[in-house]
Chain A
Amino acid sequence: MRIQRFTVGMGLLVAATALFLVFYFQLYRGGSANEPRIAVMLKSTNVRSDFWQTVREGAVAGVKGSGARLEVMGSLQDTDAAAQVRLLEDVLLRKPEALVVAPIEDAGVRKVLARIREAGIKLVVMDMPTDPDLDAVTLSSNYAEAGREAGEIAVAETAGAPRVAVLSDYESSSVSAERVKGIREAIDANENSFVGTFYSENDEDRAYVLATNLLSSEPDMNAIIALSEPAALGAAKAVEEAGKQNVVKLIAFDSSLYEIKLMEEGSLSAMIVQRPFNMGYLGVRTALKLIDRKPVPRMTYIDSIVVTRDNMYSPENQKLLFPFR
């Protein structure tokens, strides 16, 4: 009798203590945010670059409500590796908790990134195929998959008899290489379907010249896949001048207002569009998870969208093609 009463008493005491602990921890959980800093390194901070501006928007959306502070930076030109190296050196000095970076493909950049990781800054890499040397948490479009989609559209548009030329940017670009791999996977089932890969080096005029030459030297070519916007514009101009809009199908990667206009005209059959907002958002989210020491996948693919003339004004695609700001 006596003991039972004591047991009850002890139980109540334990319950009371538990209650207080709960109060205590609930409070601490809410109050212990010490504002981690997350640096986001874009390839380009050019306000005219819709892609990177949308990445920035995604990053801002991702950080909202988390209590973290965001620092967005980047070189003006997406080819200015030296500027990015300088900025990364700066990040190394300021030591934020995490860095979300879209690295320009350059040995110098890679070296700095390795040093940043050694310094204990959590590293999230975006817009880059997996790099075994860097071995960092990566977020990117599935370039090979996007290439495959482009290839499949080419096959469909040419009624199953494609003869495809690829207008790439640089020979050194691993992104482009992945895309070409995907395209080949989709079209190689068809005989004599691949004309070749040509490098326009992000120059519209060069692309125009390449395309014009191809149109005359390869009369049976019926599809051009342009891996960059300048390549697409140059190729479109060449096709238009040759009067072959209905013969040579043009498929482009990424979107711009010019490409949209080409699509409205019907010169452009399809665009393979990435989701830059998601890239920025998921990049920051992944960084937050790393800071909180939660598990994250090594590789996250961001899906690409195929936009055609028919679906370009759907609510979803409008948001993608016409970034609002």
Chain B
Amino acid sequence: MFRERRPLFPLFPLKSIQSSIAFAFSVLILLTIAATSLFAYRLSVNAVERNSKGYIQEVINQVNTNIQSYVDNMENISLLAMTNKDVKYYISSNSFIGNEGRRPYEKRISDLFQSILYTRKDIASIMVFGYNGRFVSDRRITTLNPNAKVEEQAWYVNAQREGGKSVISEPHVQNIIQNEYRWVVSLSRELKNSDGMTADGIFLVDLNLSVINDLLSQINLGKKGYVFIVDGSGNIVYHPEQQLIYSNLRSEQIAEVVRAGSGTTFKVEDEEGKRFYSVKDTSFGWKIVGVAYAEDLIGYKSTLINFLFITLGGVAVSLVISVLLSRRLSRPIRNLQRNMRKVEKGNFDVQAEVTQMNEIGQLARTFNMMVGQIKNLMQEIFDTHENKRKSELQLLQAQINPHFLYNTLDSIVWMAETKKHEEVVEMTSALAKLFRAGITKEQELVPIRIELEHITNYLLIQKMRYSSKLDYRLEISDSILGCKTLKILLQPFVENAIYHGIRNMPGSGTIVIRGMETQDGIVFEVEDDGLGMTEEQLEKIWEAPDGEWKNGGIGIRNVNERIRLYFGQAYGISIRSELAEGTCVTIRIPKIEGSGGMG
């Protein structure tokens, strides 16, 4: 988890929170918009596809209706011919009409056909071929193409095969009339005798293919869309690019179309583009197919364009909003940052403004608290320092207590007058050592051995002054001699013991100084068997405002404070005293080995 990882490239190279937030917002917005766009795009595509399918269906239904009407018309004409008596007589196998008598029949039939032809521009020709070798057409004089055998024509053969039912041919070139080669769709049917059983001939109506061609070529299914027709077995009846299909330059989905049912639509997507095929079956076996290209469909593209503009606009607006929002969000943070900079420069009086109760507001409050605490701590440190300095000064004063000095010098003078040379030497050297111990050492902590030496010198001087009135004993265990202690720690207590405990008592007094190791550290005891104190006196000592015991000595309280400053609250002084019994001062300090130190 805490393995150091460095990104391959700075993935998030933005330094300020504002830009990070802006970036995050932008990503979010872009994603949302992209997702919505995709969704809406899909929806619109589906809608367009649905619409286009409906549109093609409608178009081919229309085509179907039109073609159907042509076919119906041909059918009606054939019915007309079928029921016409003249036609029946004329082609009847057992006809009594002789060769001479057939002219009026021919004329009447021809007139009938002609009148039909006048009303129908879509019909190319109407003909009847009798099995008796006679034939009539819509024109008076008809020369048949001698090289085209009527009996071999597909429409003739098919009509014979169907035996009375009408047959629609594929579009073909009608070549049975000499010098005429017209593209037509033929409807043919076998004509029955009046008995309804024997066949007498074939009736033929030709529909001009141009009618269908015009119809289909007028249909607009977009720029590339088109309509084509196949027959039931998949042969192309009509296709705008039939020639290309025959020469394999173009392919058509014939197989799919043949498989598709009437009224269905299927989608084809290949290198030619996405397109929809709608198939409609006619009643006479053809399949009309409408093809529309997706890209052609109106609305498809314009929808997309609108869509893109809206999307781009949305992105632009949301980017601006995200920048503004991120600025607004990061403003309190920037304010806080400014305040922190002031603190950096040392101004601890700064208070951040707490305007909102959100995370940043809480942060500002915590910051304020922190700054306050730092300020207090600094004050405390400052005070502690001050106190230390004061106590050191007092220590120095204690050391060079002028009364003590005068008294000692008086004693030396007195001893010199009484010519006690040895004592003078002894006392003077002790005094010198006493002062050297206090002044020369810079460090606060000294080995107990040195402190012991110091107190010994002090006691030596006092003993010389008070001679038999003062007795003392030093009981310091050897194990602690190397340990460190505060310097001149014991002297104030010894001094107090002498001046307040022993000096004013009637008999002689003894001071015992003990030093021993305990579980928690080192304990010194300064015990005298002097006057002792009442409880009130004891309390007063602690309460002494400037910490003085009496006559300018160093205060107990100050010493206690000094110990605690150095070693902590667990250490210090306790006093036990009883009137007329004596006083015992206990000093606790930690055990600090000689070489080590508190620094």
Residue positions of A touching B, CB distance < 8 A: 3, 6-7, 9-10, 12-13, 15-17, 19-20, 23-24, 26-27, 30-31, 58, 61, 64-65, 67, 257, 260-261, 264-266, 275, 277-278, 281-282, 303, 313, 315-316, 318-322, 324
**Is B16's beta carbon under 8 Å from chain A?**
no
- The residue that A324 contacts in the complex, of B34, B38, B183, B246, with Cβ under 8 A, is B183
* Least CB separation from A9: chain B residue: B27
Indicate if the CB atoms of B235 and A67 lie closer than 8 Å.
no
Q: Please indicate the chain A residues that have their CB under 8 angstroms from the CB of B104 in the complex.
A: none
Q: Please indicate the chain B residues that have their CB under 8 angstroms from the CB of A24 in the complex.
A: 308
* Least CB separation from B244: chain A residue: A281
Q: Give Cα A318 to B31, complex, Å.
A: 60
**Is B304's beta carbon under 8 Å from chain A?**
yes
Q: Please indicate the chain B residues that have their CB under 8 angstroms from the CB of A58 in the complex.
A: 243
Indicate if the CB atoms of A319 and B38 lie closer than 8 Å.
no
Indicate if the CB atoms of B243 and A13 lie closer than 8 Å.
no
Q: If the complex has contacts A23-B308, A65-B224, are A315 and B34 also in contact, measured as CB distance less than 8 A?
A: no
Q: Give Cα A160 to B210, complex, Å.
A: 45
Residue positions of B touching A, CB distance < 8 A: 5, 7, 11-12, 24, 27, 30-31, 33-34, 37-38, 41, 145, 147-148, 170, 172-173, 175, 179, 181, 183, 209-210, 213, 223-224, 235-236, 240-244, 246-247, 249, 293, 295-296, 301, 304-305, 308, 311
- The residue that A3 contacts in the complex, of B5, B181, B235, with Cβ under 8 A, is B5
Sample (28) of A-B pairs whose CB atoms are under 8 Å apart: A3-B11, A6-B12, A10-B11, A12-B27, A13-B27, A15-B34, A16-B34, A17-B30, A19-B34, A20-B311, A23-B41, A23-B304, A23-B308, A23-B311, A24-B308, A27-B308, A58-B243, A61-B244, A65-B293, A65-B296, A260-B181, A264-B147, A266-B147, A281-B243, A313-B175, A316-B246, A318-B172, A324-B213
Q: Give Cα A265 to B179, complex, Å.
A: 12
Q: Give Cα A5 to B240, complex, Å.
A: 58
Q: Please indicate the chain A residues that have their CB under 8 angstroms from the CB of B240 in the complex.
A: 61
Q: Please indicate the chain A residues that have their CB under 8 angstroms from the CB of B145 in the complex.
A: 264
Q: Please indicate the chain B residues that have their CB under 8 angstroms from the CB of A278 in the complex.
A: 243-244, 247, 249
Q: Give Cα A282 to B249, complex, Å.
A: 9
Q: Please indicate the chain B residues that have their CB under 8 angstroms from the CB of A64 in the complex.
A: 223-224
* Least CB separation from B30: chain A residue: A16
Indicate if the CB atoms of A322 and B31 lie closer than 8 Å.
no
Sort A-B residue pairs by CB-CB distance and give the 5 closest, nearest first: A65-B224, A264-B147, A277-B243, A16-B34, A6-B11
Indicate if the CB atoms of A303 and B247 lie closer than 8 Å.
yes
Q: Please indicate the chain B residues that have their CB under 8 angstroms from the CB of A281 in the complex.
A: 241, 243-244, 249
- The residue that A27 contacts in the complex, of B147, B223, B304, with Cβ under 8 A, is B304
Q: Give Cα A303 to B248, complex, Å.
A: 11
Q: Give Cα A194 to B242, complex, Å.
A: 39
Indicate if the CB atoms of A65 and B223 lie closer than 8 Å.
yes
Q: Give Cα A303 to B249, complex, Å.
A: 11
Q: If the complex has contacts A30-B301, A257-B181, A315-B235, are A264 and B148 also in contact, measured as CB distance less than 8 A?
A: yes
Indicate if the CB atoms of A322 and B147 lie closer than 8 Å.
no
Q: Please indicate the chain B residues that have their CB under 8 angstroms from the CB of A13 in the complex.
A: 27, 30-31
Q: Please indicate the chain B residues that have their CB under 8 angstroms from the CB of A313 in the complex.
A: 172-173, 175
- The residue that A319 contacts in the complex, of B246, B295, B296, B311, with Cβ under 8 A, is B246
* Least CB separation from A7: chain B residue: B11
Q: Give Cα A30 to B304, complex, Å.
A: 11
Q: Please indicate the chain B residues that have their CB under 8 angstroms from the CB of A315 in the complex.
A: 170, 172, 235-236, 246
Q: Give Cα A7 to B5, complex, Å.
A: 14
Indicate if the CB atoms of B30 and A318 lie closer than 8 Å.
no
Q: Please indicate the chain B residues that have their CB under 8 angstroms from the CB of A7 in the complex.
A: 11
Indicate if the CB atoms of A27 and B38 lie closer than 8 Å.
no
Q: Please indicate the chain A residues that have their CB under 8 angstroms from the CB of B210 in the complex.
A: 324
Q: Please indicate the chain B residues that have their CB under 8 angstroms from the CB of A3 in the complex.
A: 5, 7, 11
Q: Give Cα A316 to B172, complex, Å.
A: 10
Q: Please indicate the chain A residues that have their CB under 8 angstroms from the CB of B242 in the complex.
A: 319
Q: Please indicate the chain B residues that have their CB under 8 angstroms from the CB of A10 in the complex.
A: 11
Indicate if the CB atoms of B243 and A30 lie closer than 8 Å.
no
- Min CB distance, B1 to chain A, in Å? 8
* Least CB separation from B242: chain A residue: A319
Q: Give Cα A27 to B175, complex, Å.
A: 52
Q: Give Cα A39 to B147, complex, Å.
A: 43
Q: Please indicate the chain A residues that have their CB under 8 angstroms from the CB of B24 in the complex.
A: 9
- Min CB distance, B329 to chain A, in Å? 18
Q: Please indicate the chain B residues that have their CB under 8 angstroms from the CB of A31 in the complex.
A: 301, 305
Q: Please indicate the chain B residues that have their CB under 8 angstroms from the CB of A15 in the complex.
A: 34
Q: Please indicate the chain A residues that have their CB under 8 angstroms from the CB of B246 in the complex.
A: 315-316, 319
With A23-B304, A65-B296 given, can you name 6 additional A-B contacts, CB distance below 8 Å?
A6-B12, A23-B41, A260-B181, A278-B243, A281-B244, A324-B213
- Min CB distance, A148 to chain B, in Å? 20
- Min CB distance, A103 to chain B, in Å? 23
* Least CB separation from B249: chain A residue: A278
Q: Please indicate the chain A residues that have their CB under 8 angstroms from the CB of B295 in the complex.
A: 30
* Least CB separation from B32: chain A residue: A16
- Min CB distance, B174 to chain A, in Å? 10
Indicate if the CB atoms of B173 and A67 lie closer than 8 Å.
no
- Min CB distance, A42 to chain B, in Å? 17
Indicate if the CB atoms of A322 and B173 lie closer than 8 Å.
yes
Q: Please indicate the chain A residues that have their CB under 8 angstroms from the CB of B38 in the complex.
A: 19
Chain B CB within 10 A, most for which of A3, A17, A65, A303: A65
Indicate if the CB atoms of B175 and A264 lie closer than 8 Å.
yes
Q: Give Cα A32 to B243, complex, Å.
A: 31
Q: Give Cα A277 to B245, complex, Å.
A: 11
Chain B CB within 10 A, most for which of A15, A282, A315: A315
Q: Please indicate the chain A residues that have their CB under 8 angstroms from the CB of B213 in the complex.
A: 324
Q: Give Cα A313 to B41, complex, Å.
A: 51
* Least CB separation from A67: chain B residue: B223
Q: Please indicate the chain B residues that have their CB under 8 angstroms from the CB of A266 in the complex.
A: 147
Chain A CB within 10 A, most for which of B30, B170, B213: B30
- The residue that B181 contacts in the complex, of A65, A265, A282, A322, with Cβ under 8 A, is A322
* Least CB separation from A325: chain B residue: B210
Q: Give Cα A68 to B249, complex, Å.
A: 20
- Min CB distance, A269 to chain B, in Å? 14
Q: Give Cα A227 to B324, complex, Å.
A: 84
- Min CB distance, B302 to chain A, in Å? 10
Q: Please indicate the chain A residues that have their CB under 8 angstroms from the CB of B181 in the complex.
A: 257, 260, 322
Q: Please indicate the chain B residues that have their CB under 8 angstroms from the CB of A316 in the complex.
A: 246
Q: Please indicate the chain B residues that have their CB under 8 angstroms from the CB of A65 in the complex.
A: 223-224, 293, 296
Q: Please indicate the chain A residues that have their CB under 8 angstroms from the CB of B296 in the complex.
A: 65
- Min CB distance, A154 to chain B, in Å? 23
Q: Please indicate the chain B residues that have their CB under 8 angstroms from the CB of A30 in the complex.
A: 295, 301
Q: Give Cα A278 to B244, complex, Å.
A: 7
* Least CB separation from B246: chain A residue: A316
Q: Give Cα A181 to B27, complex, Å.
A: 73
